[in-house]
């Protein structure tokens, strides 16, 4: 019998997995071996940097007060009483009208409180001894790098969980970390399942494929910061498989199986989970690819059942294993970094699930542009090579068009992100989407102009033009009792949005909000309100007029007049009926 | 099935605000004629048609699953 599984949302699945997150132990490695590992403790400055007041320039260390009266007309002469190279110090104290030749990085001698640069003084002889002459005066502290100016003792220079890069190595060395506290690497066991799998060196046979998943996962484990341990392929015999899993989980921190998680007859994993009494966290996720991803837990240890399809397997790893590995490594931001990019091409597949499309990210005139990398099917391998992002296309849209903003998960990023940022749909976009629908409304409620004005008022908007269309009593000698408006609402909203887009195109930085009321309206009720804000008055007036004209052309709303002596649906008040080709004049033809 | 929506005077004349038609595909022009014949509608020349909330020209093909609306001359504002 085939079991019916209930998919859970991706973020919820990640949350369930991360409940079992735990951090690894600390080990000490010689600094030479620390590169690429993750700090298990904060990197703390054990002394001030600089450790002593020092000279940032080649020049002369002086007493500022000696130069107080120096001027172009009356330069001051100071006797040079010594020389200090970097790494050495001046013995004794510098006295009045004395200077010491000092090299970059050397300690300021006692008695001195400023440095004058070599090129700003004149080197002379004074009674047969070396001296300098300066035409300008100095203040105490001029040209000195003070003790602790760079880093104060005790400050945290890198938080635990930071991946050790060459710069961090420099800091470790600066602060005396001969042995570096790093996280132990988690071990990740890998078992592949599937009688269709060939080892790499076996010749190809019909019906079989080479086992690419095991090697791909090895590399993904390493990229995330773990140690992969390949435990071989599952046997065809259930009891042997069961024993394999039982033995494997004792050897490793996390266990990954690829394949064997769907509901086919030959897939043993669900039965194994059941027999070992493991707690299945989920066995179906509302995403593509990788919907059959299963994660189970036994005594706090996680078993990841990834799909046998390479792309699904890849995505499942990055979503569920990467954060658990990074968290083990003390990383404060274990989730894959998410950034906004512009979609480079259309992606017209309908989207009943959240989709993670293997894509390529590039920079185009300072903007991030993402495009799908090759064929997007879960069993396709070729698109994995060039992929450096997963383009996240949330469910519930009919398709995506080039130019739309999308979120991308950066596969090669080291910084990562936290759960809140990772799961946030996208604060910026959410906001604009909300406010853009807010801007255009069809309502049965009375219209209130003020909130519309408030919504559009901006610091850069120098002009606000507000228009109210009111139900009037007398039209060409006929008396109106009341009006009735009807709308084809979804299309009307779309057309109002179109008008907004047209206005923004014609008058830069000019924003419009339009509310149209429908239903029964009495005399003096507001039927339509249009608010335009713009940096300039002229644009605001013009755009407001344009909006009402366009409403009468393209927005499917109708008015029925109820007069003293009858009623009538009104048509085209601009009197351009009949439409020559069955259409109103559209944007490009205006 | 094609969903056909009517508004304003068409709605009053036809007596329905929407009908479902069991048709696979036809052009906008053909649908207009069919509606005119079926419901003896007075004036259709000035009526526009939208397919899936976009204005459509006479020659556009309507397909199963589409939502079509007859849009008499509009009078909003």
- ipTM of this predicted structure: 0.96
At residue A412's C-alpha, the angle toward residues A407 and A414, to 5°, is 95
pLDDT of residue B65: 83
Provide the pLDDT for residue A97. 95
Tell whether A581 is within 8 A of chain B (Cβ): yes
Q: How high is the pLDDT of residue A375?
A: 64
Q: What is the dihedral of CA A343, A347, A353, A356, to 10 degrees?
A: -50
Contact residues, A window 411-470, toward B, CB-based 8 Å cutoff: 469
Kindly report the average pLDDT of chain A as a whole number: 87
User: For A207, left (φ over 0), alpha (ψ -120 to 50), or beta?
Assistant: left
Chain B touched by A575 (CB under 8 Å): no
Q: How far apart are the first and last CA of chain A?
A: 63
Neighbours of A59 (CB within 10 A): 23
- Contact B51/A at CB under 8 A: no
> What Rg value do the Cα atoms of chain A yield, rounded?
36
Q: Does B27 touch chain A (CB under 8 A)?
A: no
A97: enclosing H helix or E strand: none
Contact B76 A578 (CB under 8 A): no
Q: What pLDDT, on a 0 to 100 scale, did the predictor assign at position A3?
A: 59
- Residue from A399, A447, A488 whose CB has the most chain B CBs within 10 Å, to mutate: A488
Nearest to B7 among A556, A572, A578 (CB): A556
- Residue A430, Cβ density class (10 Å: 0-12 exposed, 13-18 middle, ≥19 buried): exposed
Distance CA A149, CA A209 (A): 62
> Is A393:A351 a contact under the CB 8 Å cutoff?
yes
A331: number of Cβ within 10 Å: 26
What pLDDT, on the 0 to 100 scale, is given for residue A397?
Answer: 64
Give A589's contacts in chain B (Cβ within 8 Å).
none
- Cβ atoms of A539 and A465 closer than 8 Å: no
Nearest-Cα distance to chain A for B63, in Å, is 17
Chain A residue whose CA is closest to B48: A582
The residue ranges of chain A whose pLDDT is under 50 are 1-2, 265, 427-437, 574-583, 585-590
Is B57 an 8 Å CB contact of chain A? yes
Both tokens of A451, joined, read 């909130």
Q: What is the pLDDT of residue A590?
A: 33
């Amino acid at each position: 019998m085939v079991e019916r599984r209930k998919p859970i949302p991706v973020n919820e699945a990640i949350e369930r997995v991360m409940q079992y997150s735990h951090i690894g132990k600390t080990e000490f490695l010689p600094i030479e071996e620390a590169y690429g590992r993750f700090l298990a403790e904060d990197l703390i400055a054990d002394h001030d940097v600089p450790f002593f007041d020092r000279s940032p320039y080649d020049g002369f260390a002086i007493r500022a007060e000696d130069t107080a009266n120096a001027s172009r007309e009356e330069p001051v002469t100071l006797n040079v009483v010594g020389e200090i190279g970097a790494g050495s110090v001046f013995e004794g104290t510098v006295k009045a009208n004395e200077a010491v030749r000092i090299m970059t990085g050397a300690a300021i001698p006692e008695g001195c409180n400023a440095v004058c640069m070599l090129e700003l003084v004149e080197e002379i002889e004074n009674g047969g001894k070396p001296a300098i002459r300066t035409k300008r005066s100095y203040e105490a502290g001029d040209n000195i790098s003070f003790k602790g100016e760079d880093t104060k003792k005790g400050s945290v220079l890198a938080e635990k969980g930071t991946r050790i890069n060459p710069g961090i190595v420099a800091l470790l060395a600066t602060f005396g970390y001969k042995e570096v506290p790093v996280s132990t690497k988690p071990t990740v066991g890998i078992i592949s399942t599937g009688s269709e799998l060939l080892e790499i060196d076996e010749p190809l046979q019909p019906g079989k494929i080479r086992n690419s998943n095991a090697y791909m996962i090895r590399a993904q484990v390493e990229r995330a910061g773990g140690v992969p341990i390949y435990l071989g392929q599952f046997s065809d015999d259930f009891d042997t498989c069961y024993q394999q899993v039982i033995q494997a989980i004792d050897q490793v921190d996390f266990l990954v199986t690829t394949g064997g998680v769907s509901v086919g007859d030959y897939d043993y994993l669900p039965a194994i989970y059941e027999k070992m009494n493991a707690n299945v966290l989920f066995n179906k996720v509302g995403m593509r690819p990788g919907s059959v991803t299963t994660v189970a837990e036994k005594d706090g240890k996680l078993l990841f059942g990834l799909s046998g399809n390479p792309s699904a397997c890849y995505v499942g790893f990055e979503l569920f294993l990467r954060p658990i590995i990074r968290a083990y490594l003390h990383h404060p931001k274990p989730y894959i970094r998410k950034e906004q990019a512009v979609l480079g091409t259309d992606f017209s597949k309908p989207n009943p699930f959240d989709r993670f499309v293997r894509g390529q990210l590039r920079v185009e005139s300072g903007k991030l542009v993402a495009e799908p990398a090759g064929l997007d099917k879960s069993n396709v391998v070729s698109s994995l090579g060039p992929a450096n992002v997963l383009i996240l296309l949330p469910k519930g849209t009919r398709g995506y068009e080039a130019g739309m903003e999308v979120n991308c998960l950066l596969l090669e990023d080291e910084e990562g992100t936290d759960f809140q940022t990772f799961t946030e749909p996208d604060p910026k976009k959410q906001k604009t989407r909300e406010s853009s629908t807010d801007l255009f409304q069809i309502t049965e409620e009375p219209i209130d102009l003020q909130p519309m004005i408030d919504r559009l008022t901006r610091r850069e908007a120098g002009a606000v033009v507000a228009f109210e269309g009111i139900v009037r009593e007398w039209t060409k000698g006929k008396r109106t009792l009341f009006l009735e408006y009807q709308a084809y609402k979804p299309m009307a909203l779309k057309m109002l949005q179109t008008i907004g887009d047209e206005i923004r195109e014609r008058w830069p930085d000019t924003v419009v909000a339009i509310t149209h009321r429908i239903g029964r309206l009495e005399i003096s009720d507001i039927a339509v309100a249009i608010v335009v804000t713009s940096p300039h008055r002229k644009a605001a007036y013009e755009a407001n007029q344009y909006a009402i004209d366009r409403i009468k052309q393209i927005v499917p709303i109708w008015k029925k007049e109820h007069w003293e002596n009858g009623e009538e649906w009104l048509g085209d008040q601009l009197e351009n009926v009949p439409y020559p080709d069955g259409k109103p004049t559209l944007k490009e033809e205006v | 099935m094609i969903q056909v929506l009517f508004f304003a005077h068409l709605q009053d004349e036809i007596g329905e605000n929407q009908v479902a038609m069991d048709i696979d595909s036809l052009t906008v022009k053909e649908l207009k004629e069919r509606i005119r014949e079926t419901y003896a509608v007075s004036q259709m020349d000035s009526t526009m048609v939208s397919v899936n909330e976009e204005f459509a020209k006479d020659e556009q093909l309507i397909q199963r699953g589409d939502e079509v609306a007859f849009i008499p001359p509009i009078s909003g504002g």
